[in-house]
């Protein structure tokens, strides 16, 4: 599902560009438009998980995350097999060349790209897995209102992280980031009296403080993931990087599940969840939701995000991802018959304005300075 800031290659035929004298904007608009598919797919994630958790004997967050990640590896199995075969062929060829040329050939030169791919996938997978775990625990220990507000800090944390990494963040992007943060808060009703009272009414217990800390840690890790994905996405193939990241995350999440199962109360082993009890009602439908959540908002969204962030700087990509609440509201209206509130409409308009601002007002969003790993 990369980021060394490199100048995007403009369209070689300005006359064919819909922007006429601004082919750079046309060529940079396409990946931004493609990235819009990511929040659209993400918007279907929560309904799928809500359905799973409302089933009879639902799985724990660790169990569900581990199973989802293992399922998401299925479409990547051929990619991982190709990477493994290619690496084996390169090592065999390097060994033959070394035996013929003596010490003149570097036996590791042919595997540098694969080594970079594996390191990048491991880094991204572990960071994403840690963020998922912190978010799961945070949602268990604090209110939904506070968790939503704390997690929305990612919209500000990503450009801050990009700037700290040495990437240039344009003035228009900074303004749009602030605008998007306001839009997300408005969409979630953060400024309504009821929401303010609900957030303030949570007692300052040790559990709620720990929950707040977990949510902030999750936001920081998700931000780091977005920034680092932009670096690696420019160096690696999108499908291969997504596959390696998914494999690393699956391994970490399975470990999380094992630790939880062996260190918990043991209730899960005595009373298996619906995922491993075919006699329970809704077994097949729940598994359908699991597969969907693993493939559409999981593997597919990850590949699209990786390809998009190869051309779009992290700070601007996060502006696109900030439209997720807008798609949440749109899907709820279209398929669940919900009526959007005035806060949703106003906040959505603010977020959309912030998301398109960098593309409309400047083409310098793809001119960020290079960043090293």
Contacts for 85 with CB less than 8 Å, ≥ 6 apart: none
Rounded Cα distance, 211 and 217, in Å: 10
pTM of the model: 0.76
Max Cα-Cα span within the chain: 77
Rounded Cα distance, 115 and 118, in Å: 5
Closest CA to 155 of 127, 132, 187: 187
Strands (E), 81-146: none
Closest CA to 53 of 250, 268, 274, 254: 274
Looking at residue 170, what is its pLDDT? Answer: 85
CB neighbourhood size of 337 (10 A): 7
Looking at residue 110, what is its pLDDT? Answer: 43
First and final C-alpha spacing in the chain: 19
CB neighbourhood size of 339 (10 A): 8
Q: For the chain, which ranges sit under pLDDT 50?
A: 1-26, 103, 105, 107-112, 265-268, 363-373
For 260-303, the pLDDT digits (tens) are 888 754 444 557 888 998 888 888 999 999 999 999 999 999 99
Percentages (nearest 5) of helix, strand, coil residues in the chain: 75, 0, 25
Burial classification of residue 358, based on how many CB atoms lie within 10 Å of its CB (0-12 exposed, 13-18 middle, 19 or more buried): buried
Rounded Cα distance, 25 and 46, in Å: 34
Four-point Cα dihedral 101, 104, 107, 111, nearest 10: -110
Whether residue 127 contacts residue 225, with contact meaning beta carbons closer than 8 Å, is answered with yes
Rounded Cα distance, 222 and 127, in Å: 8
For 107-144, the pLDDT digits (tens) are 444 444 788 999 999 999 999 999 988 988 887 777 66
Closest CA to 1 of 261, 229, 215: 229
Inter-axis angle of helices 342-361 and 314-321, nearest 10: 150
């Amino acid at each position: 599902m990369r980021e060394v800031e490199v100048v995007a290659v403009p369209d070689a035929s300005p006359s064919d560009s819909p922007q006429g004298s601004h082919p750079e904007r046309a060529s940079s608009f396409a990946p931004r438009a493609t990235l819009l598919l990511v929040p659209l797919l993400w918007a279907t994630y929560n309904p799928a998980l809500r359905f799973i958790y409302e089933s009879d004997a639902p799985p724990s967050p660790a169990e569900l995350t581990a199973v989802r990640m293992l399922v998401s590896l299925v479409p990547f199995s051929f990619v991982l097999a190709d990477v493994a075969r290619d690496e084996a062929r390169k090592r065999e060829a390097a060994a033959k060349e070394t035996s013929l040329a003596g010490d003149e050939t570097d036996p590791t030169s042919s595997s540098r790209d694969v080594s970079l791919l594996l390191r990048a996938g491991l880094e991204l997978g572990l960071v994403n897995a840690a963020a998922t775990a912190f978010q799961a625990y945070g949602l268990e220990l604090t209110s939904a209102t506070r968790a939503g507000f704390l997690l929305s800090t990612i919209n500000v944390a990503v450009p801050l992280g990009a700037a700290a990494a040495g990437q240039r963040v344009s003035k228009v992007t900074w303004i749009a980031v602030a605008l998007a943060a306001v839009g997300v808060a408005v969409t979630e009703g953060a400024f309504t009296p009821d929401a303010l009272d609900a957030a303030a009414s949570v007692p300052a217990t040790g559990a709620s403080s720990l929950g707040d800390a977990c949510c902030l840690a999750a936001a920081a890790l998700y931000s780091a993931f977005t920034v680092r994905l932009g670096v690696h996405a420019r160096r690696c193939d999108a499908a291969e990087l997504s596959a390696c990241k998914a494999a690393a995350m699956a391994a970490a999440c399975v470990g999380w599940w094992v630790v939880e199962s062996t260190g918990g109360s043991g209730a899960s082993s005595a009373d298996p969840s619906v995922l491993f009890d075919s006699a329970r009602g809704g077994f097949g439908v729940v598994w359908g939701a699991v597969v969907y959540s693993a493939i559409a908002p999981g593997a597919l969204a990850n590949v699209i995000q990786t390809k998009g962030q190869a051309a779009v700087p992290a700070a601007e990509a996060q502006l696109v991802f900030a439209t997720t609440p807008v798609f949440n509201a749109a899907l709820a209206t279209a398929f669940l018959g919900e009526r959007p509130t005035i806060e949703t409409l106003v906040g959505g308009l603010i977020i959309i304005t912030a998301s398109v601002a960098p593309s409309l007002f400047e083409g310098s969003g793809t001119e960020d300075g290079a960043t090293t790993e």
